[in-house]
Copies of this chain bind each other. A is one copy, B any other.
Amino acid sequence: MQHVITVLVENRAGVLARVAGLFSGRGFNIDSLTVGPTADKTLSRMTVVATGDDQTIEQIVKQLNKLIDVVKVKDLSVEPHIERELVLLNVTCTPKTRGEIVELVSIFDGRILDVFAKGMIIEVAGDRRRMADFIELLQPYGIRETIRTGAIAIARKM
């Protein structure tokens, strides 16, 4: 099962390496990971998406809680939450295919950030399944580059 784990950490050099090391030490591959700032400048928030059996994830969460720089760990997969990801794409287009691509971008509620003679740069946000669908639909036109943030998640309850 895929788990979404958020980890609130002290914003110190070396924390990321320690947390990442904890996953890899158990031979666990991380599907995606983001670390970003929080309202408190001394803290950062990590969002880790990792696939694995529930028991191993549970052990990792326990070990994360023991790390001195870790303030709070939460497995969001077990409660109502919203998951979103941002994707930037450089897609090939011709004057003929441009309209078709613009239509897809509009259906997926995306944005065109830049247009040039033979392509454009598109931004789209959504959950992983939706992002996979969008990328698949654009594939036939030729995707030069795909840059993804990996998922972040927020609890739905208050």
Q: Which one of B23, B34, B156 contacts A149 once the chains associate, using CB atoms below 8 Å?
A: B34
The oligomer's copy count stands at 2
Closest to A113 in B: B82
Q: How far is the CA of A153 from the CA of B147 in the complex (A)?
A: 7
Known: A33-B33, A34-B150, A35-B33. A82 touches B17 (CB 8 A): no
Q: How far is the CB of A152 from chain B (nearest CB, A)?
A: 5
Whether B20 lies near A17 (C-beta < 8 A) is yes
Q: Render A113-143 as a binary contact track against B, CB cut-off 8 A, 1 for contact.
A: 1101011010101000000000100000001
Q: How far is the CB of A136 from chain B (nearest CB, A)?
A: 11
Q: Which residues of B contact A65 (CB under 8 A)?
A: none
Q: Which residues of B contact A23 (CB under 8 A)?
A: 13
Q: Does residue A99 face the partner (Cβ distance < 8 Å to B)?
A: no
Known: A39-B146, A90-B154, A150-B149. A29 touches B13 (CB 8 A): yes
Known: A45-B147, A123-B125, A147-B45. A37 touches B33 (CB 8 A): no
Q: How far is the CA of A79 from the CA of B135 in the complex (A)?
A: 26
Known: A17-B20, A125-B125, A148-B152. A158 touches B119 (CB 8 A): yes
Besides A16-B16, A39-B146, A88-B154, 13 new A-B residue pairs in contact (Cβ under 8 A), listed by A number? A13-B29, A14-B24, A16-B30, A17-B20, A17-B21, A33-B34, A36-B85, A45-B148, A82-B114, A84-B86, A90-B155, A125-B125, A147-B152
